[in-house]
Structure 1
Amino acid sequence: MASKTILELKQVDKFFGDKAAVERISLEIVEGEFFTIVGPSGSGKTTLIRMLVGMDTPSRGDILLRGAQINDVPANKRPTCMVFQSLALFPHMTVGENVAYPLKCRGIEPGARKARAEACLTLAHLPTEYYDRPVTQCSGGERQRVALARALAFDPDILFFDEPLSALDYKLKKLLEKELKDIQRETGKTFIYITHSLEEAMVMSDRIGVMNEGRMVQIGAPREIYRRPNSRFVSEFMGEVNVLPVTAKGGKLHCQSLGTSFEVPPGAQETDGVLIIRPEDMRFVNGEPPVNGVLSGEIFNEYLLGSRVQYQVRAGGTTLLVEKQRDSTAPDPAAQLTFSPENSMLFAE
């Protein structure tokens, strides 16, 4: 059975004076979805989530929760909860008192709220022995889990997250990314997440919404956003790319700076513009016949990325990135590169 829409935006704008911080956003989020909003600084994502939470009201348009308009419903009257970047834990309380606080506000008796708080600690991957620990004695990762347990204790219809992992070290962040996704699956709750980290978005999300200059410019599954971006902006925002300026000529795409021509990507309309290829889609020729134009250059540097290696290749005045699995075969320093037409993207300029 198809999931129902839990949150809907209809042509939502937010103006500050004459400036539109959010403009004409229409969006449907289904129940039980992990939806992530990404975008550069100033793109409007924080303004958008403030309206979704109830901290700001739209200038125009409607926000609907389960079909009911909630434009003017304040945050404390909505069945939603926010996990802030700062976490907003009470430093004078224990872990358990922090988690149980929303239950205390509802007048739930002590025994029941302790049982609920301990269950939420378990959900957030914290041992129940932490219940009486002062929250000031918790590590950064443990505090993240306490904040999540407190949000779960509230039992909201939707949990909002405003870059909660941004201050953590890399290893802990990777662990919590997976834990958050696991918790979302275990609880079946709807998560709406804001981040500037593309890696977080790709790892955790069912769908991603990319914002730029106040607008939602593309919405889709992580693989779709990454492999089939609808604009040069989205392609560059969602990861490293090689950008080649090309001119359409005789059914081919001619790159004057590199002195070679390429096939038009399948399904693309032949046009002047930029041809975009991700580093993992570039490859060293290594003797096999290329299916596209060949780029000749020199390897200038290499960067180890765990199981992968990224090479910087300089071809004339152009710097290209090539990424391959790490193995014992080193490419020739005098590099020849190619790529398949179906792994390139053409955007008009």
Structure 2
Amino acid sequence: MAEAAARQTDRPVILSLAGLTKSFGHLKAVDSIDLEILEGEFLTIVGPSGSGKSTLVRLLAGLEAPSSGTIRLRDIDITLMPANRRPTAMVFQSLALFDHKTVGQNIEFAMKMKGIAPDQRRARAMELLNLVRLPEAYYSRAVTQCSGGERQRVALARAFASDPEILFFDEPLSAIDYRLRKTLEVELKDLHQRTGKTFVYITHSLEEAMMMSDRIAIMRAGRFVQMGAPQEIYGSPVNRFVASFMGEVNMFTVAAGADGTPRLTEIDAPAPGARGAFAVLRPEALTQGRNGEIQIKARVTQTALLGSRTQVMLDARGLPLIAEVPGSPEGLQPGVLAEFSFDLANVAWVTE
């Protein structure tokens, strides 16, 4: 997967992993991972709790030592290099700011530890305040007087202070309210584009991953299940786990046609423990009316307004379905028997 991504761009590989493994007793939190991270890309790693994503990023940042395998920064083996010697920086979920220091002191901390002169530190801090869109007057402000969004920006400025080649993020927006999180997602993506730095981002939020990433890697039980561009993973999942993990989904059982290829023969819920091929259809591809190739009559069980669209919960002969339609359409009240349809081109075929 990583090799294919590398061939599709002229970006060089900046960080490569080979057989990277981290065990805690008998548990392999990271299990023999191979990966190539491209210079300047925004790679997001997602997965359920316990999938190994946070352990992986700690290995990459030098905060954990692997049990086996190698990490190479371009042509240099940095597998056992301590974090403070790597040209990388990390933004933690807790932000880890010094509450007894000012904004400027937080930003300058790493530079001070390296013996950089005060006037140079201050000049760099001012540059970074501009980079993260904070007023220069914040330089002397106590970090405890900053809002949640401002603290996030201070943490970002501090991470950029040493001019790292790669920045790692471990769920930095998870504790922020929805409106501010959406604002910071836009600003992070903009910051990535303006600086050209390599971002490796860990999150449990699929919205964050879809909005910001060049590539998404999905982890499960210490391994990558699928890796690709956001729309590729969303529209063409490799299995039922990825299909369900990447958002709301309708899933049907299918049977092999006469030529052995999967055919949608009837709409039916996957039986417990069912194996074989499954048809995956995203809610927005199930449209109201009879314009699609496959028509469905289903009873509306519930509706929910989601801003500019409405989510419609349906029952098609015992199979629960989800559709998303534009606006707030009339005639889709609970209890109504409605017609929906979809095109086979919008169906993704997956296996167990």
TM above 0.5, one fold? yes
Give the AA of the match of 2:322: L
Q: CA deviation at 1:272?
A: 4.3
Give how far 1:107 is off.
1.0
Deviates more, 1:311-320 or 1:155-164: 311-320
Matched-pair contact (CA < 8 Å) for 2:235–2:348 = no
Stretches of 4+ aligned residues off by more than 6 angstroms: none
Partner of 1:255: 266
Matches within 5 A, 1:180-199: 180-199=188-207
Which residue in the other structure is 2:343 paired with?
340
Gaps of 5+ in 1: 259-270
Q: Which residue of 1 aligns with 2:70?
A: 62
Give the counterpart letter for 1:309 in structure 2.
T
Residues 151-166 of structure 1 correspond to what in structure 2 (within 5 A)? 151-166=159-174
Residue 314 of structure 1: aligned partner: 315
Q: CA deviation at 1:253?
A: 2.9
SS of residue in 2 equivalent to 1:254? coil
CA distance in 1, matches of 2:70, 2:276: 40
Q: Distance in 2 between matches of 1:85 and 1:256?
A: 43
Q: Do the aligned partners of residues 257 and 230 (structure 1) sit closer, same or farther apart at CA in structure 2, a change above 3 Å counting?
A: closer
CA distance in structure 1 between the aligned counterparts of 2:276 and 2:93, rounded to whole angstroms: 43
C-alpha contact 2:305 2:328 (8 A) present in aligned 1 = no
Which of 283, 287, 293 does residue 283 from structure 1 map onto?
287
| 2:116 match | 108
Contact preservation (8 Å) 1:284, 1:331: no
Tell me which residue corresponds to 1:298.
299
Q: CA deviation at 1:77?
A: 1.4
Q: Does 1:78 align with 2:86?
A: yes
1:278 partner letter:
R
The CA distance in 1 between the partners of 2:75 and 2:197, in whole Å, is: 18
Mapped partners of 2:74, 2:258: distance in 1? 54
The equivalent of 1:232 in structure 2 is: 240
Q: How far does residue 255 in structure 1 lie from its aligned partner after superposition?
A: 3.1
- The corresponding residue for 1:208 is 216
Cα distance in structure 2, aligned partners of 1:148 and 1:330? 49
Q: Give the secondary-structure state (helix, strand or coil) at the position aligned to 2:248.
A: coil
What is the rounded CA distance, in whole Å, between the counterparts of 2:351 and 2:221 in structure 1? 20
Match of 2:45 among 37, 62, 66: 37
Out of 208, 212, 227, the residue aligned to residue 219 of structure 1 is 227
More off after superposition, 193-202 vs 19-28: 19-28
Q: Which runs of 5+ in 2 are unaligned?
A: 1-8, 270-274
Q: Which amino acid aligns with 1:343?
A: N
Among all aligned residue pairs of Structure 1 and Structure 2, give the percentage whose two residues are the same amino acid: 52
Letter in 1 for 2:311: Q
Tell me the TM-score normalised to structure 2 length: 0.91
Deviation digits for residues 316-337 of structure 1 (CA, Å, limit 9, x no counterpart): 2221100021155544821122
| Count of matched residue positions in the alignment of Structure 1 and Structure 2 | 334
**Secondary structure of residue in 1 paired with 2:138:** helix
- CA positional deviation for 1:347: 2.2
Equivalents in 1 of 2:241, 2:175: separation in Å?
Answer: 26
* TM norm structure 1: 0.91
Deviation for aligned residue 1:148: 0.3
Give, in angstroms, the shift of residue 33 of structure 1.
Answer: 0.9
